[in-house]
Amino acid sequence: NAGVTQTPKFRVLKTGQSMTLLCAQDMNHEYMYWYRQDPGMGLRLIHYSVGEGTTAKGEVPDGYNVSRLKKQNFLLGLESAAPSQTSVYFCASKPSGKDTQYFGPGTRLTVL
């Protein structure tokens, strides 16, 4: 199993550009999460999903949208990137009824 994978690994955007980050998991997990990590800070939850076709807002959802059309994929979209969205983005998943989250390797995004 590949576990949780994220695409791309690195990306540089200009202010106002849009992009989509892809998270894929091959563990048949129901729950999926998107976090951002900024220097000196822990992870903050952006959006999450408790199952295919469902999404919900986390702690810092503004400026982001998500979709979970397939159980194995969770997409994070930035419609109009801002420098404040420069961060490392992590995706995680977990099975229903369990507590441990499994993390992807991260995507480093820079917005100029």
Partner 1 sequence: SQQGEEDPQALSIQEGENATMNCSYKTSINNLQWYRQNSGRGLVHLILIRSNEREKHSGRLRVTLDTSKKSSSLLITASRAADTASYFCATERETSGSRLTFGEGTQLTVNP
What's phi and psi for 31, nearest 5 deg? -95, 140
**Residue 42 binds partner 1, judged by CB under 8 A:** yes
Nearer to partner 1, 14 or 39 (CB): 39
- Residues of this chain, 87-106, that bind partner 1 according to CB under 8 A: 90, 92, 94, 99-106
The 10 Å Cβ neighbour count of residue 56 is: 11
Q: x/- contact string, 63-82, with partner 1 (CB under 8 A)?
A: --------------------
> Taking a C-beta distance cutoff of 8 angstroms, is the pair 101, 48 a contact?
no
Nearer to partner 1, 17 or 108 (CB): 108
> Taking a C-beta distance cutoff of 8 angstroms, is the pair 106, 40 a contact?
no
In sequence order, which ranges of the chain are alpha helices (DSSP H)? none
Binding residues for partner 1 (CB under 8 A)? 4, 31, 33, 35, 40-45, 48, 50, 58-59, 90, 92, 94, 99-106
